[in-house]
Amino acid sequence: MDRRNFLRVVGATGALVAISPSTISGRLYASTGLYESYERVQLIDAQGSPIKLTDLKKETNYVFNYPYVATPTILLDLEDTTAKDVRLKSEYGEEYIWKGGVGEGRTVVAYSAICSHQLAHPTPDDSFLQYVQKDKKTMACDHGGVMVCSSHLSSFEAKEGCKNISGPASEPLASIVLEIADDDTIYAVGVLGPDKFHEYFKAFKPEFKKYYEGRRKAKKKVKTSATMVELSQYTKEIIQY
């Protein structure tokens, strides 16, 4: 396992605590609201083969659903090394430390693809939320290398824990915590930061019926493995302003 991927979280006393994501129980989330562990899930391709770090293409939007069957995540191998120990804050003032990317160059990151503003997210039909490459600009941000929600033009700094930097979003995107095995295969193990899963599952009942045969199946937790594909394969239309 990539030991650089240890988390440091701010506890109720204000002290920083270093912890390995896969050893955290759900009780920590209950006491701090910052981190919740989920099933340790291996990322696989459409043919069922484990995905390795070396399989990733730079600055490409990859999508897999985690920690629930219907909650999309975007994984990226960024062009640049990510920042370290970024202090982030939820809209309610809860602080947490985003440790940085994983892999040899600390360039691989994953974020919940549910916008922290009004829950826009990729679906099989369209996607208003995605990563914008470094050499591109959008109406939401004057530079690239960011996650952009084109629904209401919020942007998030991908190399700094997806902190909100422009637009109406008032808090970062939640981070999906990754672990790298000794053979370079990739696992998702938990969620750090202010996720929007509760609001999401209340808001999109018709969508869950269309894609997942109802909310009950949509809310099932992903176990063992999750299939990851490029965003262009996941959705029919990528919308970006």
Which domain CATH number covers 108?
Answer: 2.102.10.10
* CB contact set of 193 (below 8 Å; sequence gap of 6+): 34, 88, 90, 96, 98, 161, 171, 172, 173, 174, 175
Total domains present in the chain: 1
Q: Using omega within 30 degrees of 0 as the cis cutoff, is the peptide bond preceding 67 cis?
A: yes
Is the separation of the CB atoms in 108 and 77 below 8 Å? yes
pLDDT band at 20 (very low <50, low <70, confident <90, very high): low
Using CA atoms, how far residue 14 sits from 28, 79, 163, in Å, is: 14, 34, 21
Full residue range of the structural domain in which residue 194 is found: 37-238
Does a structural domain hold residue 187? yes
Tens of pLDDT, residue by residue over 192-211, are 999 999 999 999 999 999 99
Does a structural domain hold residue 21? no
Does a structural domain hold residue 2? no
Does a structural domain hold residue 63? yes
How many Cβ atoms from other residues are within 10 Å of residue 60's Cβ? Answer: 14
- pTM here is 0.89
Does a structural domain hold residue 32? no
Does a structural domain hold residue 22? no
Does a structural domain hold residue 25? no
